[in-house]
Amino acid sequence: MRHSGDVQHKVIEGTYRVLGEAERTLAAPQDWSTLKLNRDERDILADAGHVLRFGDGEGETTTPIKAEQLLVPRRHDDGADDLWTVWNVVQENAVKGGLRGIGLDDLGRPRRMKSRAVNGIDQDIKLNKALWLIGEKMAALKGAR
């Protein structure tokens, strides 16, 4: 925030904006956990997360990591099919990396690879904001408040 002009008004306005966002964010786990996703809806979340994480500027992906790998839970308790759990599994797999695939090297030979974690703050924020928006839209489609 720039420190010139009516700073006090801008700070107060910004504070209310943050509080409004916090209320929505804090309500999401409770609201989203009541929304069950079918297989197609889970696949849509995974496909979107896959393109966000591995896609180029045109949305094309060339990684041997498959979208369905984003749906594989890392913990037994994350096996539920509600929006909150599925969203968290996709988000964790997209951000933390460690997903394995077999691609081809420059000579066309099979080569094992593993996705890297997202470490850059700009990429992390961009990815998480986009995933959050997808979660909100899915919740709206499923009839959440």
The pLDDT tens digits for 20-64 are 565 666 678 889 999 999 999 999 999 999 999 999 888 888 899
pLDDT of residue 23: 61
Percent of the chain with pLDDT over 90: 69
- pLDDT computed for residue 55 by the predictor: 92
Supply the pLDDT for residue 114: 95
Provide long-range contacts, Cβ within 8 A and 24+ apart, for 137-144. 138/35, 138/37, 138/41, 138/44, 138/45, 138/83, 138/87, 139/28, 139/31, 139/32, 139/35, 139/83, 142/35, 142/37, 142/41, 142/83, 143/35, 144/31, 144/32, 144/34, 144/35, 144/83
Burial environment of residue 86 by CB neighbours within 10 A (0 to 12, 13 to 18, 19 or more): buried
Residues 59, 51 contacting (CB under 8 angstroms) = yes
Q: What is the pLDDT of residues 8-29, one digit of tens each?
A: 666 666 665 655 565 666 678 8
Residue-level pLDDT at 77: 92
Q: What is the mean pLDDT of residues 110-128?
A: 94
What is the rounded distance in angstroms from the CA atom of residue 95 to the CA atom of residue 29? Answer: 19
Mean pLDDT of the chain, nearest integer: 88
Tokens of 20: 């409004």
* DSSP secondary structure letter of residue 77: G
